[in-house]
Chains A and B, each alone.
Chain A
Amino acid sequence: MSKALNSSAPTDSEVVLGILNNSENILKRVYVAYFPMVLQLIINNNGTADDAKDIYQEAIIVLYNKVKAGNFELSSKLKTFLYSVCRKLWLKRLNQMSRYGGDIKDFENHVLVEDDTDHHTERDIQFSKMEGALKLLGEPCKTIIEDFYIHNHSMQDICERFGYTNADNAKTQKYKCLQRLKKLFFQQ
């Protein structure tokens, strides 16, 4: 099975281009191609398949953001990069769970990826704060904020959706919601 998956692995430059072009197909192929490698790493180092999924998705996100930010340089093979990120993240997780015995069983070469993982971890903290703030915000604020700032819906759409009599009312409501969200976000 792993052989079949490997044969369909896209080339490294295909992946970079695919991510930049938002290609769903390339994302899927790269994901499927390297997941077994990471699964092998995690389950043979005190982890479960679910741990492997979490760690691998984080690594893919690191790759995705790095490519999107336009500063992805192929200093190593993409496979090695993904493996190294996963390895680093898993070691960190093991340490947090106090399950790290000081020894990790390696299956691939790896390179230093500290900057990438640190940056990713920082962002993750911000995102989880945002998630928490949105959860606390409640409806209809949450949907108004998401529709306007994330899904780029127009105020007109929002007005209709929530049945506001005029755009000014909706704007006032949106403003209040944003103020509350900021408060909640910075309180955490």
Chain B
Amino acid sequence: MSTDHQLTELIERYLSGELNEEERLRFETMRRENAAIDSRVVEHQQFTNLLKQYGERVELEKRLNAIHQEIDVHALAEELTVHPSWVVRMWRNHHSKISVAASVAIFAMLATLYSTGYFNKGTSNYTELRREVEKVKQTTENVKRTTNVLMNHIESNGRIVTPSKFTGTGFALTSNGYIVTNYHVVKDADSLYVQNASGDAYHTKLIYTEPTHDIAILKIDDTTFTGLGAIPYTFKKSKSDVGEDVYTLGYPRDDFYYGKGYLSSATGNNGDTTAYQVSLPVYPGNSGGPLLDGKGNVIGIISGKQTQTESAAFAVKSAYLFKAAQSVNADSTAHNINLKGKNALSNLSRQQQIKKLENYVFMVKVYN
């Protein structure tokens, strides 16, 4: 340690020229003969030079900083900045905000287009229609649910002597007690009763269902039932025209109800070709009721409505009722449904027609 210290001191004195002639010559001889000492000299020289230069650098930087202090950098910067057009400046200063705003705008636009169904169909006119129809589907579901709620409500009030879970409307197919209604009225039913305008109630059983067309056919099997007499209306097989005056009868409440309107479209819910759209005020409970034209021909069965638009309802076309009736015929040939009866209504006024129809339109009561 101490020899190393002495060597370092010697090197320092040698490098600074403090050695006398004799010492210097001796040291140089030693340096030549001993490579280790030589490298120590070089290393020490380099290191101390670096230290010295570092000190000079620090000094120089201080001087430069002092000079720099005297320059009005801010004013110079203002003067020398190349000012781009205001659009570019605006973009540079606010590009993050602008980007966010643009993203939100694009997202909102896409969301709007998507929700209006723009991406589903080619033109916005068409999709507008489709959107409504989509909603109709939902609201039809809502109608059914409302029926449920409404009936439960009545039940809890205890106002009805024979409480039923659901009610709908049905009408006679034949004089011997075949009755047609909607499938959705009678599905999941444990027992079914029909009740006419006079208050006579009969037990019925479910004969046939066709869920795809929302048609169900019931048969009165009550012992007190003696027959209905000749059916005053006929069933129209051909398609009815848009614009035709139509009406319906049904039991949205306990009382017999009459609703009048016109045929507004040859297709039903969601472009369903098996149904008509009619402009007619209907309520929960109207389901399964007959849709008649001015001459007393049954042209369809009321099946649902659209709450979004006032008095827009749907009715299954009578042609599908035919098909259903034929299926029943094939199943039970003994009870032939007569669909070719004479129309006794065509020359009567509306009031007289309704009076005649009263006993052939029933409230369908569903228990489960």
Whether A43 lies near B68 (C-beta < 8 A) is: no
Q: How far is the CB of B80 from chain A (nearest CB, A)?
A: 4
Majority SS at the chain A contact face? helix
Whether B52 lies near A39 (C-beta < 8 A) is: no
Q: Which residues of chain A have C-beta atoms less than 8 A from B79's C-beta?
A: 1-2
Q: Which residues of chain B have C-beta atoms less than 8 A from A28's C-beta?
A: 67, 70
Q: From A2, A105, A126, A149, name the one whose CB has the most chain B CB atoms within 10 angstroms.
A: A149
The stretch that binds B, out of A29-37, A70-78, A110-118, is A29-37
Measured CB to CB, the nearest residue on chain B to A130 is B54
Q: Which residues of chain B have C-beta atoms less than 8 A from A43's C-beta?
A: 77, 80-81
Whether A127 lies near B68 (C-beta < 8 A) is: no
Q: How far is the CB of B115 from chain A (nearest CB, A)?
A: 40
Q: How far is the CB of A23 from chain B (nearest CB, A)?
A: 11
Q: How many angstroms from the CA of A24 to the CA of B71 in the assembled complex?
A: 16
| Binary CB contact string for chain A from 39 to 55 against chain B (1 if under 8 A, 0 otherwise) | 11001100001001100
Whether A57 lies near B50 (C-beta < 8 A) is: no
Interface residues of B in 113-141 (CB under 8 A from A): none
Interface residues of B in 1-43 (CB under 8 A from A): 5, 8-9
| Binary CB contact string for chain B from 50 to 88 against chain A (1 if under 8 A, 0 otherwise) | 111111110011011101101101111101111000000
Q: How many angstroms from the CA of A43 to the CA of B92 in the assembled complex?
A: 14
Q: Which residues of chain A have C-beta atoms less than 8 A from B81's C-beta?
A: 43-44
Whether B76 lies near A61 (C-beta < 8 A) is: no
Q: Is B48 an interface residue (CB 8 A)?
A: yes
The stretch that binds B, out of A7-15, A87-95, A158-166, A171-179, is A171-179
A57-B61 contact in complex given A2-B79, A31-B67, A178-B8, C-beta closer than 8 Å: yes
Q: How many angstroms from the CA of A183 to the CA of B56 in the assembled complex?
A: 22
Majority SS at the chain B contact face? helix
Q: How far is the CB of A186 from chain B (nearest CB, A)?
A: 9
Q: Is A86 an interface residue (CB 8 A)?
A: no
Q: Is A67 an interface residue (CB 8 A)?
A: no
Whether A149 lies near B52 (C-beta < 8 A) is: yes
Q: Which residues of chain B have C-beta atoms less than 8 A from A172's C-beta?
A: 5
Q: Is B47 an interface residue (CB 8 A)?
A: yes
Interface residues of A in 11-25 (CB under 8 A from B): 24
Whether B68 lies near A36 (C-beta < 8 A) is: no
Whether A149 lies near B48 (C-beta < 8 A) is: yes
The count of residues in chain A whose C-beta lies closer than 8 Å to any C-beta of chain B is 37
Measured CB to CB, the nearest residue on chain A to B74 is A49
Q: How many angstroms from the CA of A36 to the CA of B73 in the assembled complex?
A: 8
Interface residues of B in 223-267 (CB under 8 A from A): none
Measured CB to CB, the nearest residue on chain A to B66 is A28
Q: How many angstroms from the CA of A53 to the CA of B73 in the assembled complex?
A: 9
Interchain CB contact (< 8 A) of B76 among A24, A39, A127, A145 = A39
Q: How many residue pairs bridge A and B at CB < 8 Å? A: 83
Q: Which residues of chain A have C-beta atoms less than 8 A from B48's C-beta?
A: 149
Q: Which residues of chain B have C-beta atoms less than 8 A from A119's C-beta?
A: none
Q: How many angstroms from the CA of A36 to the CA of B70 in the assembled complex?
A: 13
Q: How far is the CB of B111 from chain A (nearest CB, A)?
A: 35
Q: From B57, B60, B70, B80, name the one whose CB has the most chain A CB atoms within 10 angstroms.
A: B80
Q: How many angstroms from the CA of A185 to the CA of B50 in the assembled complex?
A: 11
Q: Which residues of chain A have C-beta atoms less than 8 A from B8's C-beta?
A: 175, 178
A24-B80 contact in complex given A172-B5, A175-B8, C-beta closer than 8 Å: no
Q: Which residues of chain B have C-beta atoms less than 8 A from A141's C-beta?
A: none
Measured CB to CB, the nearest residue on chain B to A151 is B55
Measured CB to CB, the nearest residue on chain A to B80 is A40
Q: How many angstroms from the CA of A175 to the CA of B5 in the assembled complex?
A: 7
Interface residues of A in 138-155 (CB under 8 A from B): 145-146, 149-151
Whether B76 lies near A36 (C-beta < 8 A) is: yes
A149-B77 contact in complex given A28-B67, A57-B61, C-beta closer than 8 Å: no
Whether A61 lies near B60 (C-beta < 8 A) is: yes
| Binary CB contact string for chain B from 140 to 182 against chain A (1 if under 8 A, 0 otherwise) | 0000000000000000000000000000000000000000000
Whether A105 lies near B55 (C-beta < 8 A) is: no
Q: Is A100 an interface residue (CB 8 A)?
A: no
Whether B67 lies near A105 (C-beta < 8 A) is: no
Interchain CB contact (< 8 A) of B68 among A53, A105, A145 = A53
Q: Considering the complex of A and B, which 8 residue pairs feature the smallest CB-CB distances, nearest first? A: A150-B55, A40-B80, A149-B51, A130-B54, A31-B67, A49-B73, A57-B64, A175-B5
In the complex, 11 of the A-B residue pairs with CB atoms within 8 angstroms, ordered by the A residue number, are A2-B80, A24-B63, A39-B80, A43-B80, A52-B73, A57-B65, A64-B60, A149-B51, A150-B55, A178-B8, A182-B47
Q: Which residues of A are interface residues toward B (Cβ below 8 A)? A: 1-2, 24, 27-28, 31-32, 35-36, 39-40, 43-44, 49, 52-53, 57, 60-61, 64, 105, 123, 126-127, 130-131, 145-146, 149-151, 171-172, 175, 178, 182, 185
Beyond the given pairs A31-B68, A61-B64, 17 more chain A to chain B contacts, judged by CB atoms under 8 angstroms and listed by A's residue number, are: A1-B75, A27-B63, A28-B70, A32-B67, A35-B76, A43-B81, A53-B68, A60-B64, A127-B50, A130-B50, A130-B54, A131-B54, A149-B51, A150-B52, A171-B9, A175-B8, A182-B47
